[in-house]
Amino acid sequence: MRIGLPVWEKRISPVFDSASTMWIACSGSGNDYHWETHDLPEGPMIYRIQKLLQLNIDVLICGAVSRCCLQLLNGYGFQVVNWVCGDADEVVKAFLAGHSLQETHAMPGMRNWGRGFRHRKGRCWQKGRRKQ
Amino acid sequence: MSPKKNDTQKPGTKHSFMKLLPEQFKRLLDCIADGMFSVDLSWRITSFNRAAEEITGISKDDALGHRCCEVFKANICERDCALKQTMATNRPVINKKIYIVNKRGERIPVTISTAILYDADGNVIGGVETFRDLSQMEALKKELHRQYSFRDIISRNPQMMELFEILPEIAQSDVTILVSGESGTGKELVARAIHDLSLRRNHPFIAVNCGAIPETLMESELFGYRKGAFTGAQHHKPGRFKLADKGTLFLDEISELSLTLQVKLLRAIETKKYEPLGAVSQETADVRIVTATNKNLEQLVNDGGFREDLYYRVNVISIELPPLRDRLEDIPLLVDFFIQKFNSLQHKSIEGISDDALSLLMRYDYPGNVRELQNFVERAFVLCRGDTLEKKYFPEKLHALDEKEEMLQEGSLSDVEAAAIKAALRRHGGRKQDAARELGIHRTTLYRKMKFHGIDVEKE
């Protein structure tokens, strides 16, 4: 599994829309993983998403993300866990251990906000399905 | 150790800004309309006023003690933090325009100003940032400039406005797009807008209506043919794929493609290669595909009328256009747009539409969507002799709706019956036989009822 996290100062970037660095936790079987680091392009959001597609990410764990950006991410079939903050390493460990990040690493004021999307698969904008 | 524990640590008491503020001053801060927060030297929030709570959607209790970037969530936090800049240069930032992401995921435009905080001995103890919500001002600006249009698509409907916001992003990529919506909702306009906003805008936009071309000709239309490929093929003819090279190919009513052709189309999309009829080698075309349908493709796939693999290939991004009956608020805007358009095309100077006529248009449910509305306005334009489109210039079926409503307002059953008879007679120019047929009663019954209600055909 490849878990993407926009990271700034070793913590989840506060806003995905303007994040500049993507860390990817590549995990095999079990809870072991290693990190890859990539730059995220500036400019239109679509460049950023194309980069994520190239990086072949299964899950994106991020902080705040604007609604239009989230729709695009869902449109491209990404599973998104948003409103998360904290140390990137700790977040990945919690995620791999099966903890709800909404409980353990929610951004201030966002605990259990939008509860229920934790296991939701990405969908195409409005009503499509993930590209097979 | 969980980093969350560190997050929730309250700021050190030594430099706590809150402790330095008298209670009255805190109350004063809560009264101002601008958001304000202060931070200590470790960027943790030490005060957060009521306006800040309202603008960010985060309560003071949730904000205090946390990193400012994780509460404020501004686009500049990571690369260009204004407070950091102020601390480093000792110069305030004044009215810098940025955006923050609020609790609902909305981008809120704000202006920010920053300053350094000192204690009584002149030591720096943190910083303060004030911010003003510009979203209302931006909305008013939009209202002033009537920015309810996007290319040639006009709407103030929230779902459409959301589409306007996302369309430039979608257009920048090369992914295949499926535009769905009822007939007349503007699917081709969306496809054209996508092309115009894309990097392919200087190359051709080719539209093909798959439902309008006979199945037998469709393959040669799409992929072209070579001289001698069939009887009558006297020279090479390029297909739409070739014509759209480096541009956009819009396939309208894609559900009408035969299953055989769907296989060829899928191959052409996947490999960017196709074989014209009668050719011995493949040709390449760099084409961005935008498709449209007014049918439920997913249902068609389940019914076996559309290939599943092609469905997933064309449905990478799906855009659904709402029917006009779900966005009636757009009718005044659209009517205004069509009036301007037809004024220019027909060299007329119609000033507008009467309130009665507009209210008539608002009551219809538009099975033909925007195209039907456009036809109504065009018809009224032809008939109009004055400078305002009056109710009488619009088709009879709209008046029928009006009459039905009048009938319902009449009250008693007898009144409704009389109104129905009068309306039917009016519609049929006083022809009782036709009126009786429409009402579903015998002609003699109609005579009897007319006599009972005192209806005179001449008067009606």
DSSP string, B232-297: T--S-EE-HHHHTTTSEEEEETGGGS-HHHHHHHHHHHHHSEE--BT-SS-EE---EEEEEESS-H
Domain range for B71? 3-138
Please report the pLDDT score of residue B190 as a whole number: 92
Q: Are B122 and B237 in the same domain?
A: no
Q: DSSP class of residue B411?
A: -
Q: Write the CATH number for A80.
A: 3.30.420.130
Task: Assess whether pLDDT exceeds 80 at residue B36.
Answer: yes
Task: Assess whether pLDDT exceeds 70 at residue A121.
Answer: no
Task: Assess whether pLDDT exceeds 70 at residue B403.
Answer: no
Closest-CA distance of chain B to residue A71, Å: 8
Q: How far apart are CA B428 and CA B420, in angstroms?
A: 12
Any A CB within 8 A of B386 CB: no
Q: What angle do CA B242, B243, B245 make, to 5 degrees?
A: 65
**pLDDT > 90: what percent of chain A?**
48
Please report the pLDDT score of residue A111 as a whole number: 81
Asked whether residue B78 is assigned to any structural domain, the reply reads: yes
Closest-CA distance of chain B to residue A6, Å: 11
Please report the pLDDT score of residue B294 as a whole number: 92
Q: Please answer yes or no on whether B169 and A104 come within 8 Å at the CB atom.
A: no
| Contacting B residues, span 170-229, partner chain A, CB-CB under 8 Å | 170, 172-173, 175, 178
Q: Are B77 and B115 in the same domain?
A: yes
Asked whether residue B313 is assigned to any structural domain, the reply reads: yes
Task: Assess whether pLDDT exceeds 90 at residue B342.
Answer: no
Top mean-pLDDT range of A16-30, A42-56, B228-242, B427-441 = A16-30
Which residue stretches of chain A are H helix?
A: 45-55, 67-75, 88-96, 101-104
Mean pLDDT calculated for residue range B161-177: 84
Nearest CA in chain B to A49: B173
Please report the pLDDT score of residue A16 as a whole number: 94
Q: Please answer yes or no on whether A132 and B309 come within 8 Å at the CB atom.
A: yes
Q: Are B274 and B348 in the same domain?
A: no
- Per-residue pLDDT of B378-400, as tens digits, reads 999 888 888 889 988 998 888 77
Question: Is B60 within 8 Å of B38 (Cβ atoms)?
Answer: no
Q: Which of B320, B346, B378 is the last residue of a domain?
A: B320
Burial B63-93 (b: 16+ CB within 10 A, else e): bbbbbbbbbbbbbbbbeebbbeebbeeeeeb
Q: How far apart are CA B160 and CA B320, in angstroms?
A: 9
Mean pLDDT of chain B: 85
Please report the pLDDT score of residue B411 as a whole number: 60
Instruction: Report ipTM for this prediction.
Output: 0.83
- Per-residue pLDDT of B178-197, as tens digits, reads 999 999 999 999 999 999 88
B170: part of which helix (H) or strand (E)? helix B158-172
- Per-residue pLDDT of A50-97, as tens digits, reads 889 889 998 999 999 998 888 788 877 889 999 999 999 999 999 998
Please report the pLDDT score of residue A45 as a whole number: 77
Mean pLDDT calculated for residue range B128-137: 89
Please report the pLDDT score of residue A124 as a whole number: 34
Q: Please answer yes or no on whether A71 and B79 come within 8 Å at the CB atom.
A: no
Asked whether residue B40 is assigned to any structural domain, the reply reads: yes
Least confident interval from A56-60, B38-42, B440-444:
B440-444
Question: Is B195 within 8 Å of B184 (Cβ atoms)?
Answer: no
Please report the pLDDT score of residue A130 as a whole number: 40
**pLDDT > 70: what percent of chain B?**
90
Nearest CA in chain B to A93: B2
Chain A positions in Cβ-Cβ contact with residue B175 (cut-off 8 Å) = 76
Asked whether residue B458 is assigned to any structural domain, the reply reads: no
Domain range for A39? 2-104
Asked whether residue B144 is assigned to any structural domain, the reply reads: no
Q: Write the CATH number for B371.
A: 1.10.8.60
Helix (H, G, I), strand (E, B) or coil at B49: coil
Chain A positions in Cβ-Cβ contact with residue B7 (cut-off 8 Å) = 85-86, 108
Task: Assess whether pLDDT exceeds 60 at residue B16.
Answer: no
Number of domains in chain A: 1
Closest CB to A85: pick one of B58, B70, B319.
B70
Please report the pLDDT score of residue A77 as a whole number: 82
Q: Residue B144: which pLDDT band, with cuts at 50, 70 and 90?
A: low
Q: Are B293 and B415 in the same domain?
A: no
Q: Please answer yes or no on whether A19 and B78 come within 8 Å at the CB atom.
A: yes
Percent helix, strand, coil in chain A, to 5, is 25, 25, 45
Report strand pairing: B177-180 vs B317-320: parallel
- Other C-beta atoms closer than 10 Å to the C-beta of B339 total 20
Mean pLDDT calculated for residue range B125-136: 91
Q: Are B8 and B130 in the same domain?
A: yes
Asked whether residue A132 is assigned to any structural domain, the reply reads: no
Q: Are B55 and B134 in the same domain?
A: yes
Closest-CA distance of chain B to residue A75, Å: 6
Closest CB to B66: pick one of A65, A108, A125.
A108
Closest CB to B101: pick one of A15, A75, A104.
A15
Q: Write the CATH number for B157.
A: 3.40.50.300
Number of domains in chain B: 4
Which of B219, B221, B227, B185 minimizes the C-alpha distance to B206?
B221
| Contacting B residues, span 264-303, partner chain A, CB-CB under 8 Å | 298
Q: Are B245 and B99 in the same domain?
A: no
Asked whether residue A99 is assigned to any structural domain, the reply reads: yes
Burial B11-32 (b: 16+ CB within 10 A, else e): beeebbbeeebeeeeeeebeee
Mean pLDDT calculated for residue range B127-144: 80
Query: Which residue would you say has higher pLDDT here, A124 or B175?
Result: B175
Q: Are B192 and B305 in the same domain?
A: yes
Q: Please answer yes or no on whether A131 and B312 come within 8 Å at the CB atom.
A: yes
- Other C-beta atoms closer than 10 Å to the C-beta of B104 total 11
Mutation choice for B interface testing from A80, A107, A112 by most B CBs within 10 A: A107
What's chain B's length in residues? 460
Asked whether residue B460 is assigned to any structural domain, the reply reads: no
Closest CB to A20: pick one of B7, B78, B315.
B78
